Amino acid sequence: MAKHEPPATVEEFIKRNPKWKNEFLALRKIIQDFDMVEAIKWGKPCYIIGNDPIILLQSFHEYCAVVFFQGALINDYHFILAVENDKVQSARQLRFTNQKEVMSNKRIIKDYINQAIQMHRAGMKVLFEDNSDCKMPAEFELALATMPQLYNAFVQLNPIQQQNYVRYFSSLKLKKSRENQIEKFKEHILQGKGLYDK
């Protein structure tokens, strides 16, 4: 298997993330109580209804998380949902650093997943701000076109991570700055990391 090839199964994803193995196993067991299809999307375990992703599991350096795609709509009465950065409009994370945290928050995890499913069934979605002025810079387009590995890694990122890269590169005014930053973040993208991942 190529170094940057995404995992084919959830088991393989968990095997590749030994630091959070117990936490992911516990979270997966909780999630499997719900009527969602489990699949690998963007290189991560994703739980889907129809064609719509509801949640996914993600590994970070300091924590692992359940990511709710429409998390901004959840009634977070425990004030524990986190947002990755101030550019993210809809996704929210439930973060965990050990298995005990997962188990002690089992009821809340189930409630928030149930809320996410009910919102999906009701057709509720976050209304995004218009980002149409944010276009992919020519320098990044060229890098993706000339480096198949980079392109393949970029399309495996989730839409929020892709958007963060495009926004960041677009925000740089000078051509040289864009080229330098694209070069700097190439390895980050190849490793399947978002702009703000360590």
Domains annotated for the chain, with CATH where assigned, are 10-121 (3.90.1150.200), 138-190 (no CATH)
pLDDT for the residue numbered 20? 98
SS3 assignment, position 129: coil
The rounded distance, in Å, linking the Cα atoms of 64 and 23 is 8
What confidence tier does 67 reach under pLDDT thresholds 50, 70, 90?
very high
* Range with the poorest average pLDDT among 25-29, 100-104, 184-188: 184-188
Q: Is the pLDDT of residue 170 over 80?
A: yes
Strands 52-59 and 92-96: unpaired
Instruction: Tell me the average pLDDT across 170-181.
Output: 91
pTM for this prediction: 0.69
Instruction: Give pLDDT tens digits for 123-149.
Output: 888 776 555 456 788 899 888 888 888
**Model pLDDT for residues 89-125, shown as the tens digit of each residue:** 788 999 999 999 999 999 999 999 999 999 999 988 8
Counting residues of the chain whose pLDDT is more than 90, the rounded percentage is: 62
d(CA 41, CA 156): 7
Q: Which residues contact 125 (CB under 8 A, 6 or more apart)?
A: 70, 73, 90
